[in-house]
Structure 1
Amino acid sequence: MEKLLIIFLFALIAELIDGGIGMGYGVSLTTLLLSIGIGTAVASASVHMAEVFTTLFSGLSHFKLGNFDKKIFAFLAIPGVIGGVLGAYGAVKFQDASSIRPIISGILLVLGTLIVVKFIEKKEMLEHEYERPRIRHLAPLGFVAAFVDALGGGGWGPITTPTLIMNNAHPKQVIGSVNFAEFFVTLAISITFFLALPKIDLAIVVPMIIGGLIAAPIAARITKKLPHRTVGIMVGVLIMLLSLRTLIMAMMP
């Protein structure tokens, strides 16, 4: 019972962060599940099953509040579904994606630092100064992010959100669109895991769903009210912290 309460509280906090600035739910909860002895594939499957519910609720909340761009959403979601299915299959087949995490985290650490520097130095941008991402950049980004996310249990938000923000996309629209696209990606990943894995413990999935559903609409409202510059800096700082944690854990025996 104590373990389930911890998972619930982690999910609540993680969704407040994820729904607010576009990342953190999958990485945080996967790390927690791995630390209590759950295998990589099962941990990733459990988190993605919970995310089917939390990302739908979060995505709808952002859509309702106007934190949404249909172009970003569509051209992340479609290739993301393909990448997610392939990544889930890889997670089941190889069971361990630990070797690629330090490499990805190193890249994200640099990216997070650049985002923080960019938004600290730059004044608050006007609405017309933001740029819509190009399709040829969105499609491969969605594919790679979903593949890594399924393979390692997290990475969709940390890869897509900072990459788009660094390219002058509207921070709030990026966060909402990334969250909504993630629903379709996690749905595809979850179906793949369900068909490929013999058993998933629903007892650990339920508290993750409840915690995430409580936090999702609150997080969307926080994003709506915060200045764009503040959102950008928060995204960069969180990316740096998550990446540093992964790198430190990879170096530990």
Structure 2
Amino acid sequence: MIDASVLSLDMIPWSDLAPFIVAGFLAQLVDSGLGMGFGVLANSLLVLLGLPPGAASAVTHRVEGFTSGASGLAHALQRNVDWPLFGRLVLPGILGGLLGVWVLTSVSMAILRPAVLAYLAAVGLYLIWRGPRRPQSYRRMKLVGPLGLFAGFLDASGGGWGPMVTGNLMAQGMTPRMAIGTANAAEFFVSVTVLTAFIGRLGFHSFTIAASGLLIGGIVAAPCGAFVTRRISPRRLMELTGAILVALSLGGLVSLMFSPIPLFARL
């Protein structure tokens, strides 16, 4: 662990932090740029760096609340957030997160995961097909409250806010950069709610080397991802989002079929 009393930069173990900083940067760059992927990429990279799957998941959960806040702020500064839609998403998302924590501690969620993965894969394929065929134009989104509620529930029970919210908003016809920015901004409040709800059971310890490096890399990458999102063409952004959705979903389905495969331990 890093001693909080050590203030001198030359005493910080940069050689130990560096691999985790790179992992956090890459995971958050994709997540901030496409609205999804931090959990699965961070988990995968941490496992590849030698952390046990359980420890990798715990580190990712702890850091994600902070990186999602940095990402949401960066998207707001880039004017990628639809604030009325944000308001319609965030409160149901918080309620869904609380419900997910309660359910997760009471019953198994294993039966729900394959259905969600198959649905997200279908949404991803639709986005890939639709990207070059139909330009995006803003219109009032439908069923935003239920979407936020269910996505918050998924986030608490294993992750899924980004893929569910971003994919659905795009599929309904929302401008890709606004869908990504709004989903990222709302995710911060959902993640903090879920973390707070779990904290009594899991406890809160000082940041490890892995968590510290992941956090540094994630915070540095957040504004880069928001900047890129604003400048990529809507069609290309939609195709990339669809491809990430399909890849995450297929990876999750493979992990269920050939368990244990820690590379895709969390959606």
Correspondence 1:30-179 to 2 at 5 A:
30-31=43-44, 36-39=51-54, 46-93=59-106, 97-122=109-134, 124-125=135-136, 129-134=137-142, 137-152=143-158, 154-179=159-184
Secondary structure of the corresponding residue to residue 52 of structure 2:
coil
Which residue is equivalent to 1:197? 202
Secondary structure of the corresponding residue to residue 80 of structure 1:
helix
Question: In structure 2, do the counterparts of structure 1 residues 105 and 200 end up closer, same or farther at CA, with 3 Å as the change threshold?
Answer: farther
- Structure 1 residue 46: deviation in Å? 3.5
Secondary structure of the corresponding residue to residue 169 of structure 1:
coil
159-168 or 99-108: bigger deviation: 99-108
CA–CA distance in structure 2, aligned partners of residues 30 and 84 of structure 1: 21
21-30 or 192-201: bigger deviation: 192-201
CA–CA distance in structure 2, aligned partners of residues 60 and 198 of structure 1: 27
Question: In structure 2, do the counterparts of structure 1 residues 49 and 3 end up closer, same or farther at CA, with 3 Å as the change threshold?
Answer: same
CA–CA distance in structure 2, aligned partners of residues 11 and 89 of structure 1: 29
Question: In structure 2, do the counterparts of structure 1 residues 99 and 115 end up closer, same or farther at CA, with 3 Å as the change threshold?
Answer: same
- Structure 1 residue 99: deviation in Å? 4.2
Which residue is equivalent to 2:9? none
Question: In structure 2, do the counterparts of structure 1 residues 238 and 48 end up closer, same or farther at CA, with 3 Å as the change threshold?
Answer: same
The one of 162, 167, 191 aligned to 1:186: 191
Counterpart of 1:114, as a letter, is Y
CA–CA distance in structure 2, aligned partners of residues 131 and 27 of structure 1: 31
Unaligned stretches of 5+ in structure 1? none
Counterpart of 2:28, as a letter, is E
Counterpart of 2:39, as a letter, is G
Unaligned stretches of 5+ in structure 2? 1-12, 260-267
The one of 22, 25, 29 aligned to 2:35: 22
- Structure 1 residue 202: deviation in Å? 2.6
Secondary structure of the corresponding residue to residue 36 of structure 2:
coil
Counterpart of 2:217, as a letter, is G
CA–CA distance in structure 2, aligned partners of residues 33 and 90 of structure 1: 28
CA–CA distance in structure 2, aligned partners of residues 82 and 45 of structure 1: 22
Deviations 1:105-158 (A, max 9, x none): 111111100111011222x44xxx321213xx1111111111111111x20001
Root-mean-square deviation (Å): 2.4
CA–CA distance in structure 2, aligned partners of residues 6 and 148 of structure 1: 29
Larger radius of gyration: 2
State the TM-score, normalized to the length of structure 2.
0.82
**Percent same amino acid among aligned pairs?**
33
Answer yes or no: is the 8 Å Cα contact 1:89–1:193 preserved in 2. no
Richer in helix (by share): 1
